[in-house]
Amino acid sequence: MSENSSLFNNRKFTVPMVSILLLLVLDQWIKIYIKTHFMLGEIRPIFGDWFKLYFIENDGMAYGMKLFGGGKIGKLILTFFRLIVSGFGFWYLIKCIRNDANWGLLICIALVLAGAMGNIIDSVFYGVIYADINHYLGGWFEGQVVDMFYAPMWEGHLPEWLPLWGGQFFVFFSPIWNFADACITVGVAVMVVGQNTFFSKDELEKAFGSSTPADTAEDSDSPQ
């Protein structure tokens, strides 16, 4: 049996890849529904004032953050940056699978990759596919990312006695996000929480399929 055949028959390959595909399909279904059934800027309450669908589009990163200065050039740089990072992510995922890395790490990587690919699809294709209904001009690699989830934990006017911001209207957790952003956030958060398990010495050796530099040095110093 060839190495590639063995890889494809490995559950640690199948489960993350199928997870990525299913998460991508769900992400795109949500975005397409919002894109074709909502007016830009439309808000629809789901659970009162706590959770709403709020259709916006952005040319930045997750939660509307900007990178590389924004604008057309910044958008193109960001899209290609996402593609490069995703390519590295898939390479790392395959390497971890081949070396029987921890299940939790594989699922976290799958979540991050699904989220990244979901927003890449928007960036690469939406400027052309939805050119007739977009509120912006954009070609290939110039699409804007569709965001729709808005869950402010608290909003209101700050106390007058508060220095600098007293009396101002404030929203705690104001970003508007999408399912892809949530996948990335959950994947990264679980990796941080589980880092002692996912990135222990034994797991790193398995993931990269080699001994640590310290072990290598010890081996080289041992008598022949």
Which residues participate in catalysis according to the annotation? Answer: 147, 181
Report which residue type is found at 139. Answer: G
CB neighbours of residue 28 within 10 Å: 19
Token duo for residue 118: 């979901």
